[in-house]
Structure 1
Amino acid sequence: MACPENMFFLIVLFMSGVLACFGQRHLITTMPDRLDVLTGSCVQIPCSFDIPEQHKDKLNSTILTSGVWIKENPYFGGRPDSVIFNSSETVNRYEGKITGNMSQKNCTTVFFNVTTNYTNRYFFRIESQPFLATDTEKSVKIVVWDLPSSPILTVSGEVKEGIPVSLNCSAVTSCPEHPPELTWTLPTQFTHENQLQENPDQTKSVLSTVTFTPSYLHHEKNITCTAVYPVGTSNKTAEHNMMLNVSFSPKNTSASISPADPVLVGSCVNLTCSSTANPPVTNFTWFKISGDKPTQVASGLSYSLNVTVGDGGLYYCEARNSHGCGKSKEVQLAIKGQEEPVNPKVYEIVGKTLGFIFLFSLIVFFAWRRRTSRLPSGFDMTDRSQGQNSPVGTVCSNQATVGRGNQ
């Protein structure tokens, strides 16, 4: 009978061997942790494998290696139904095929006509006599849905008025043979580009990029990206809505005065400024036109004053945020008993009008002189005498008539 000390040593040695055996991986696979699939569609499982250096001599490269997929539990002894696919078999529980090159350690597999019963965890195994190995530490979870998940919408940077911006919409495709079609709904004209891309976990997704130039009119407008998945003879759709947040300088800036009618000296008058901006207006400034120059008189959304004799005149406001400034039209503060000041622009318009009339009169006068200077002398005298008698007499006659009528 062995001594208790020797027995203890043997037990420790045995347990260490067991733990070492279970701690070694004869097969190392790489695959996604999870795949979301649509019922009736297919699912592609990106898969690759490697064999630890200490076990590579057991694999005979001249023998065809079979790929096996096991459902739920990698230990399928006594549970043959757990094996749902074997590439060396012509008939399998799951309809599929290994599309990867097994000789290059690519075990990528596609299963067709997925049903909700496929929702489970799956392990991969290789069989190449005499080498048989299952990676018990890595699996992929397949989750089957009746409806597709919404695509993902992202914006590249700040959406600012007048600066081109790109919107990205992506939708994962578990069946790259039938990828979804992405379409957009935007409140403006745009250009877009679709492409199939590979994700870090080797799954595939469709990416659509839209480029457009936003306006302040697009602020708080909805945009939609719709993914249309072909499944069998029908389609399944999912969409993602997002409200645009456009940054812009103050727009529609206006000033108002209350009361709007002429007021008495000593009355209280309120001037209010309003504007639309994103981000909101941070500073309102009030100006009064003195002569032909504006003078700042106050700051703030509203301006209140007890009217004095010198307060009458034209006022306007400016609204400012981090993106710029907006200016209102002028409003008139009229005081009863005072002649309303004339807008300097009126003088400018009147001056230009009189100058135009004067210039036109000179052109007509010189044209007339030039014409009369070319006529024969006899005809010129006759024409002049007639011209002097007839029009003047008519004008005087008319003036007289008007005078008698007035009397």
Structure 2
Amino acid sequence: MACPENMFFLIGLFMSGVLAFFGERGLIATMPDRLDVLTGSCVQIPCAFEIPNQKDYTFNSTILTFGVWIKESPQFAQSPNNVIFNSSKTDNRYQGNITGNMSQKNCTTVFFNVTTSYSDKYLFRIDSQPYRATDPDKSVNIDVRDLPPSPIITVSGEVKEETPVSLNCSAVAPCPEHPPELTWTLPTQFTPENQLQENPDQTKSVLSIVNFTPSYLHHEKNITCTAVYPVGTINKTAEHTMMLNVSFSPKDTSASISPAGPVLVGSCVNLTCSSTANPPVTNFTWFNISGGKPTQNSPVGTVCVNQTTAGEKPEEPAEDQPEEIHYGDIDFSKLRPKETPAAAQDRNRVQGQETQSKTGLRAQTIKTNDP
């Protein structure tokens, strides 16, 4: 009875070894996870492969190796209808070529005249003597659309007035033989630089770069990048539009006084200051030009002036004061309160008293978050 038991034990080890062998990946393929393709165009699948277990098979570049693409399932023998391309054959379901050098483990493939039925998952297989293997753990999903995806606009750094900036527009090029053409619509003159570039996953895209120096007049202006894809005898177009957000210092600062006409000595007037900036001005300071202390820190100020301050001589502004300073005059020369008999006597006793005077006020724009 000992022999049957030992025999059973040996059979068990053998079966375990077989299962372990078939559980390993006989091929490791590298390709993108996803490709967006246009109907009627071509698609290039970047592809490379490695043999993980060199003990079982050492890749020999002198031996002719064929590439096979399988749809949906990695089961090659059980699903022959899923084989859509085999480089060893001249008649395939999909028109295409393996453009990579298989002897250098490059399986890059191009399929032509793509239709919507091509939208699916695809796996790669090598077929050579004496080694054949499929990578069941890596696939590429191809999504075929009638319209191209929109290009992507990016801006390098903060957009500030009088500071050079770069605008980048990129569009996928699933068919590098017929890449898209990129054009810009900008509120300024420009000279774009276009180039075909390779992405980290080995796919291709077209990049267009525009360098320009924005001004405050470009704030909230639209820019557009348009991608035109040639497909057969027609073109398919996609575009992306974004609004420029330009940071700039205060512009068009103005100060006004209400009421605007002559006012009574001792009465009050409203002072209003406005300015355009990005980010917006958050603080205004009103102060007397003749050297008095600041009176208000708000867009609207109220100032009451008596006869003494009205007669002071305005001082010259300091050299280190900000540029955005605007002036307004309050005229007390035409309207005066009705003179009482006592006030008339006082006036007669004081010769040379001024009856007309002016005072000047100025508004200082305080810039916060100066761009």
Q: Which residue of 1 aligns with 2:301?
A: 303
Match of 1:139 in 2: 139
Q: Does 1:339 align with 2:337?
A: no
Shift of the 306–8 alpha-carbon distance from structure 1 to 2, 3 Å rule, reads: farther
Structure 2 residues without counterparts, runs of 5 or longer: 337-354, 361-371
- Whether 1:55 aligns to 2:22 is no
Q: 1:83 to 1:310 in 2, by over 3 A?
A: farther
CA–CA separation in structure 2 for the residues paired with 1:69 and 1:133: 12
Q: SS in structure 1 opposite 2:149?
A: coil
Equivalent residue number for residue 222 of structure 1: 222
Q: Percent of counterpart pairs with the same letter?
A: 72
More helix by share: 1
- Aligned partners of 2:310 and 2:359 also within 8 Å: no
8 Å Cα contact 1:264-1:307 kept in structure 2? no
- Is residue 330–residue 358 contact of structure 2 (8 Å, CA) maintained in 1? no
8 Å CA contact retained: 2:35, 2:140: yes
1:241-293 per-residue CA deviation (whole Å, 9 max, x = no partner) reads 11111011000000011111111123221101100111111331223332xx7
SS in 2 for 1:200: coil
- For 1:68, the aligned partner's letter is V
> How far 1:331 sits from its partner (Å)?
1.4
Distance 2:245 2:8 in 1: 73
Is 1:207 the counterpart of 2:207 in the alignment? yes
Query: What secondary structure, in the 3-state scheme, does the structure 2 residue paired with 1:305 have?
Result: strand
Deviation at 1:17, TM superposition (A): 2.9
* Structure 2 residue 37 is the aligned partner of structure 1 residue 37: yes
Q: Measured at CA, do residues 37 and 308 of structure 1 come closer, stay the same or move farther in structure 2, by a change above 3 Å?
A: same
C-alpha distance 157-60 of structure 1, shift in aligned 2 (>3 A): closer
- Matched with 2:249 is 249
Whole-angstrom CA distance in 2 between matches of 1:4 and 1:279: 89
1:173 and 2:173 aligned: yes
What amino acid maps onto 1:55 in structure 2?
D
Change (3 A) 1:2 1:275: farther
Contact between 2:330 and 2:359, CA under 8 Å: does it hold in 1?
Answer: no
Q: Does 1:263 align with 2:260?
A: no
Q: Does 1:28 align with 2:25?
A: no
Per the alignment, residue 369 of structure 1 pairs with: none
1:236 aligned residue: 236
Report which structure shows greater RCO (CA 8 Å, sep ≥6).
2
Query: In structure 2, how many angstroms separate the alpha carbons of the residues matched to 1:144 and 1:49?
Result: 25
Distance 1:298 1:232, change over 3 A: same
Deviation per CA, 1:128-155: give whole Å up to 9, x if none. Answer: 1221111111111111111111111111
CA contact under 8 A between 2:41 and 2:175: conserved in structure 1? yes
CA deviation after TM superposition for structure 1 residue 10, in Å: 6.9
Distance 1:176 1:35 in 2: 13
1:2 Cα offset (Å) = 7.8
Query: What is the CA distance between 1:101 and its match in structure 2?
Result: 0.6
**Structure 1 residue 122 and structure 2 residue 122: aligned?**
yes
- Ranges in structure 1 where 5+ consecutive residues have no aligned partner: 319-323, 344-407
1:250-329 to 2 correspondence within 5 Å? 250-290=250-290, 296-312=294-310, 327-329=324-326
User: 2:222 touches 2:241 (CA, 8 Å); kept in 1?
Assistant: yes
Q: Secondary structure at the match of 1:55?
A: coil
Alpha carbons 1:249, 1:326 under 8 Å: kept:
no
Letter in 2 for 1:339: Q
The one-letter code sitting in structure 1 at the alignment partner of 2:356 is E
23 and 340 in structure 1: CA distance in 2 versus 1, 3 angstrom threshold: farther
Partner amino acid, structure 2, of 1:304: T
| Contact 1:268 1:306 (C-alpha < 8 Å) held by counterparts | yes
Contact 2:329 2:358 survives alignment (8 Å): no
